[in-house]
């Protein structure tokens, strides 16, 4: 791995349980590996961390004579009425770290006119421009589907976030829950509570086709690497969304190897021998969570899946609350057909669990 041998300043963002097969199984081990970025006497910044991680970062910094400081989250008032271009509450932590690193770099390289080191002073105009225009595809990104006709524009929106750790999954779920409510409020006079079917009724304004109101349905499109623990990721996602009144009508699981041929009525997987064992495992975890949440026995999920296995010809396994598809194009095809068959329902699809999956979806929906 490439490392800058003589950096101007170093930074460590929020630490969590990620890449554990390389970094270690505890936050202290992970922090110890991350602290490898420190260089003797070079200033470093981090953000507020769990004590287990922070203690290690401080200890490592002390041994290398590194002046370590904790960057404060950005105060939104400093943006002069503008918003961070990157969505999510956690981005204020990242913005605070970015400001500290940039200011220190500018100061140590002689650009004193642009530095910002005091929270009570105005942000330089260049900083505000960067923070309010920066973009990062695949993280808290909303993409309306281009395939749906103009009259139904907005009836299918993909919400993309490549979260793949418990901590980032919680952030992703929080962002998605707030984003769909915000999007609904833009189209409605009021935002009523969740109904029992998992849909949200919107009182539409402006569009005469919506005068009777449209419901919205949340769908999860998920995949993660086999080194991840779905028993950590999926419960975190489900519980965080539920705490915001958001419930997925269907969860779709697709394999790692996506098919890149054009999505259409004849899209088929190129490999009929696709191994779906991991996706079936993810599906069982999800169904067990659903049944557990309903107060039923977890083992009931397998029976539900067996009964529903032949409900759809496109799916490797269809359950009451989920489905496994042998390819990503087939999953997107199924979603699009659902939109066309249910014109009164807006489909809001959260794509998460893997940056590879997010990239594949971007490629398919923008082609």
Q: Please write the tens of the pLDDT for every residue from 286-317.
A: 999 998 876 544 444 444 565 444 444 455 67
Q: Are 221 and 252 in contact (CB under 8 A)?
A: yes
4 part of a folded domain: no
**79 and 98 together in one domain:** yes
Q: Cα angle vertex 178, ends 125, 319, to 5°? A: 140
HSE-up of 82 (CA within 13 Å, CB side)? 17
> Long-range CB contacts (< 8 A, 24+ apart) of 18-27?
18/164, 18/165, 18/167, 18/168, 20/227, 21/227, 26/52, 27/52, 27/53, 27/56
Average pLDDT of the chain? 80
Give the span between the Cα atoms of 240 and 90, in whole angstroms. Answer: 15
Give residue 333's pLDDT: 93
**107 and 205 together in one domain:** no
**129 and 182 together in one domain:** no
Query: Pick the residue with more confidence: 160 or 344?
Result: 160
**127 and 149 together in one domain:** no
List, for residues 41-93, the tens digit of each pLDDT value.
Answer: 999 999 999 999 999 999 999 999 999 999 999 999 999 899 998 887 888 99
- pLDDT above 70 as % of the chain: 76
Return phi, psi of residue 319, to 5°.
-115, 180
Residue 198, sorted as left (phi over 0), alpha (psi -120 to 50) or beta, turns out to be left
User: Hey, CA dihedral for 164, 26, 98, 4, is it positive or negative?
Assistant: negative
Q: What is the CATH number of the domain that holds 302?
A: 3.90.190.20
**113 and 164 together in one domain:** no
Give residue 157's pLDDT: 94
Lowest model confidence (mean pLDDT) among 222-236, 248-262, 292-306: 292-306
153 part of a folded domain: yes
Q: What is the CATH number of the domain that holds 37?
A: 3.40.1190.10
25 part of a folded domain: yes
**228 and 301 together in one domain:** yes
**278 and 211 together in one domain:** yes
Give the span between the Cα atoms of 9 and 259, in whole angstroms. Answer: 42
Among 69, 100, 133, the domain boundary falls at: 133
**149 and 80 together in one domain:** no
For residue 322, pLDDT over 70 is answered with yes
**170 and 289 together in one domain:** yes
How many domains does the chain divide into? 2
**124 and 173 together in one domain:** no
Among 113, 133, 153, the domain boundary falls at: 133
pTM of the model: 0.73
Q: Using 50, 70 and 90 to split pLDDT, how confident is the model at 258?
A: very low
**26: domain range?**
10-133
Q: What is the mean pLDDT of residues 165-178?
A: 92
Give the span between the Cα atoms of 313 and 325, in whole angstroms. Answer: 10
Q: Are 35 and 62 in contact (CB under 8 A)?
A: no
Strand-pair category, 322-324 with 317-318: antiparallel
Q: Are 99 and 117 in contact (CB under 8 A)?
A: no
327 part of a folded domain: yes
Give residue 354's pLDDT: 92
192 part of a folded domain: yes
Beta bridge partners of 350: 159, 220
**317 and 243 together in one domain:** yes
**111 and 238 together in one domain:** no
Among 114, 133, 152, the domain boundary falls at: 133
2 part of a folded domain: no
């Amino acid at each position: 791995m490439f490392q800058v041998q003589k950096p101007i300043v170093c930074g460590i963002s929020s630490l969590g349980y990620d890449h554990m097969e390389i970094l270690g199984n505890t936050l202290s081990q992970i922090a110890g590996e991350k602290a490898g970025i420190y260089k003797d006497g070079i200033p470093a910044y981090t953000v507020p961390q769990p004590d287990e991680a922070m203690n290690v970062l401080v200890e490592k910094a002390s041994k290398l004579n590194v002046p370590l400081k904790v960057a404060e989250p950005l105060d939104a008032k400093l943006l002069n009425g503008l918003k961070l271009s990157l969505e999510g509450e956690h981005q204020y932590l990242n913005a605070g770290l970015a400001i500290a690193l940039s200011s220190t770099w500018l100061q140590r390289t002689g650009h004193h006119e642009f530095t910002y080191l005091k929270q009570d002073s105005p942000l330089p105009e260049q900083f505000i421009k960067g923070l309010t225009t920066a973009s990062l595809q695949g993280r808290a990104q909303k993409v309306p589907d281009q395939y749906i006709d103009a009259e139904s524009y907005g009836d299918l929106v993909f919400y993309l976030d490549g979260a793949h750790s418990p901590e980032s999954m919680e952030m992703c779920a929080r962002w998605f829950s707030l984003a769909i409510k915000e999007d609904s409020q833009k189209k409605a006079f009021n935002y009523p509570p969740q109904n029992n079917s998992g849909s949200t009724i919107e009182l539409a304004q402006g569009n005469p086709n919506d005068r009777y109101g449209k419901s919205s349905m949340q769908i999860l499109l998920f995949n993660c690497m086999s080194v991840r623990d779905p028993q950590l990721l999926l419960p975190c996602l489900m519980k965080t969304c539920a705490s915001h009144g958001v419930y997925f009508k269907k969860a779709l699981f697709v394999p790692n190897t996506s098919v890149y041929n054009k999505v259409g009525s004849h899209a088929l997987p190129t490999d009929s021998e696709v191994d779906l064992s991991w996706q079936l495992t993810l599906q069982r975890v999800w169904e067990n969570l659903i049944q557990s949440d309903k107060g039923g026995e977890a083992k009931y999920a397998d029976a539900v899946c067996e009964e529903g296995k032949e409900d759809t010809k496109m799916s490797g396994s269809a359950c009451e609350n989920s489905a496994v598809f042998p390819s990503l194009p087939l999953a997107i095809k199924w979603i699009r057909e659902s939109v066309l068959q249910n014109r009164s329902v807006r489909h809001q699809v959260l794509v998460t669990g893997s940056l590879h999956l997010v990239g594949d979806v971007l490629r398919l929906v923008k082609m």
